[in-house]
A and B are shown apart, each in its own frame.
Chain A
């Protein structure tokens, strides 16, 4: 029955969509070029001018206005002090010393001891090897700057996030208020909040850390709340019957029991913070992000890759250590008695670790050799080179120049083919139709796909986009986003089906997907700029690579979720493999497909705007220009708002569509 209903409804929806497209094309042919709300790159609207004036007046009154004097500036100064303190400790010359307080040996040993004490010996070895590798890459100092920023951001996230998580767990009303805020914090392209943050906090490491905090805080809040809510009511009841007060329960029972989930939240917060370091470099935050950004400027693929690799190493070490710590927390929950068996042995080990750490820190504090990572060692007469970075850089560079030289004949035509036959036509349709026509067409599409609410949200967001004065730029960004998303979904289905059906393929491909996801987005841009020049196509390719792993993983999970009996039944009833995929597995994981599309869109949008740095144009460029040209500040701010509005519209429409698709799945399942 349900299947019949689906077969009946789907053509209906498709016909409607086709109808919208045909109507749009016909009207476009007649009306193109009229009512386009175009705005030349050098022009600004009165809204943008007002925002410029706001910028100037904030600049003039920063040190007299009480709001800034007693609130904003306090935050800025406090954050700066905190970061400077960490930098003096780890990365920058401190006081009269030409080197930081703790040198490389101290940091390596401290990290190893922490990993061993809270995780296990395997992650301790990984931590030691990983941090030594950073030194061998010749990137010790920028890596430590990045570590200092990350520590600062994570500490602030934990200090604010765990109490908020407790509140969320305790008060339903608070949860309802904060959930949409957290959603927005996570879906908004991170690129967007840099400009408003510089208005308040100016450029510098403080702003970088605040941006990292905004992006990285949601996981720790969510998982703290989740962990507390998962504590069984019986446990809480038991505590209450023993007469403990609410704060006592929280501190003595609930928080310890939720410890493992909270550590997972911290883990995700660390990962999110690290993924922001390149973006934070745009507001002059120090560290590896700076190295990547400068490599982008000089189109130096080797340097960018080396620095990107260092970020991956940091991410892997911090991820594995915190994961091991959360597993350890679970293990101790399950088997406290076992641990108790040998407390004396443990205490002895801790004491040894303490002494070793103290000695290492002292050595690294005192001796140049252990303070600044050496690029070679001279033992007797032999010179031992410790410089791996130069090799990594030259390998990558020669690989790229090979690609540039020998693939040049392919890359040009691919770029031109996609640009002339897909991107330009779609962009023209979106931005050269009268704005009201595009508006109606998009809202109608949203209605067909997602229903009344989706249409209403789309209409509201697009209406506000018109208000930003950047309609054409928004439509150009939308065109690039849509093209990239189509490719992402196609890749998601292809690889997702393969991985979902074949465990060995999954095992082989997944590590690459993980690596692609950890590598900071900017690093992708560099080789593609080398291959395709500073064009919109470069942005699309980078966006595809950035978004595809997520989509592939979601589809693979969906395919794997189809009950094996169903697949076997279809196979035994004579369906070919192709039929099993198209008639059984894909339709039954339609919800995953919709979710993959949704996530793909969000990721693609985030990357397409970053590509404004390398010829992507449109809204992304408006934001970049806003950073660096004060006369375009207001326009950049408005472009940021337009990006957020586009993001909300795309997210809500695809989520509604996914929910509808999900409804079918659950209907059929029952």
Chain B
């Protein structure tokens, strides 16, 4: 029996090792704000506290959580806004990579403070803003959005009438692939994107099948290859998008959009509307009085400005921070406008 207790004691001791280690860290909580952290930091070791001490705005701003939706333009929004939040307002910025509708859900769980580029979503606005009062519409972010079906420019030169949807069935056989089951292929992007494509194909009686590419990258790579190799491609695409400056994709005209024509998702038979992209924030964040809220409220930029940053990220492969820094350095006055009142 004494043997067992001996080994049990050993184990206990080891547990104490680990727990003490953690407890020591936890107990030390009081120290950080206290400043400096004792002990002489060598030339290579700078104290942790130094990173956060100094300006009092740290505590004033606190933590801001931004939703980051899966397309490059949105990433450009997040890159610039989070850079300004961190460097000018000393906020702690958390970036959550979420899809559009899931981001809205985050307002009710406190997972998300702000969506910077919202594309429509009237049903969600009704649920979370009007009914549940967990989110607030902060108005336009200056961007205008277009969604539609696009073809590479070489196709328009060769088949000029392809930009009219009524002629799409005539060309369906051009767009056949291994995935489209004998019909023409309409390539879609990320499954979370705003889309009526499946309904449009059905309701416009088009001999096409929607095939899921899975991501923005898949769309861009497909278009680039299609233009280079003169291969036919019909795909979902959108603006603002830096890639439209590289390859001048041409939009296919669908039946004109009229207000309300897209009210029932399964019955849609008209083009996408022009989107005035807007900012939405959590109600709690709006009430917090954080300077971050003021900044996001003031923040606004143009399609052109966004494309500049997007291109730095996607083509020049700059990191988010490097791209933001570069853009801000040549647009100081714009950023100063955003910082007013913070």
Contacts and interface: CB of A to CB of B under 8 A. Distances in A.
Indicate whether A and B interact.
yes
Interface in B16-36: 16-18, 20-22, 24-26, 28-29, 31-33
B189 to A, nearest CB: 10
Interface string A480-506: 000000000000000000000000000
A284 B96 contact: yes
Interface in A607-666: 613-615, 617, 621, 624-625, 627-631
B14 interface: yes
A337 B196 CA distance: 74
Contacts of B92: 93, 98
Interface stretch (A8-16, A38-46, A550-558, A578-586): A38-46
Nearest to A428: B181
B25 A102 contact: yes
A350 interface: yes
A368 B132 CA distance: 43
Contacts of A98: 48, 51-52, 92
A646 B109 CA distance: 34
Contacts of B10: 343, 346-347, 350
A388 B271 CA distance: 49
Contacts of B7: 332, 336, 339-340
A71 interface: no
A97 B22 CA distance: 16
A446 interface: no
A117 B47 CA distance: 31
Given A203-B102, A294-B97, A613-B214, A106 B21 contact: yes
A114 B18 contact: yes
B6 A366 contact: no
Interface residues of A, number: 89
Interface stretch (B123-131, B146-154, B293-301, B324-332): B123-131
A96 interface: yes
B288 interface: no
Given A97-B48, A354-B20, A630-B101, A416 B6 contact: no
Residue of A40, A60, A377, A621 most packed against chain B (CB within 10 A): A40
Interface stretch (A123-131, A510-518, A529-537): A529-537
Interface in B27-70: 28-29, 31-33, 37-39, 41, 44-52, 58-59, 63, 70
Contacts of A420: 178
B48 A365 contact: yes
B191 interface: yes
B167 interface: no
A379 B58 CA distance: 32
A621 B191 contact: yes
A629 B192 contact: yes
Residue from A293, A298, A424 having most chain B Cβ neighbours under 10 A: A298
A371 B48 CA distance: 7
A369 interface: yes
A101 interface: yes
Contacts of B4: 256, 336
A378 interface: yes
A336 B3 CA distance: 7
A629 B52 CA distance: 40
Interface string A104-121: 001001100110011000
B231 to A, nearest CB: 12
A354 B215 CA distance: 50
A347 B217 CA distance: 58
A55 B253 CA distance: 35
A358 interface: yes
A562 to B, nearest CB: 42
Contacts of B192: 627-629
Contacts of A629: 101, 191-192
Nearest to A631: B265
Interface in A67-117: 89, 92-93, 95-99, 101-103, 106, 109-110, 113-114, 117
6 contacts: A56-B127, A62-B108, A98-B92, A203-B109, A336-B3, A366-B38
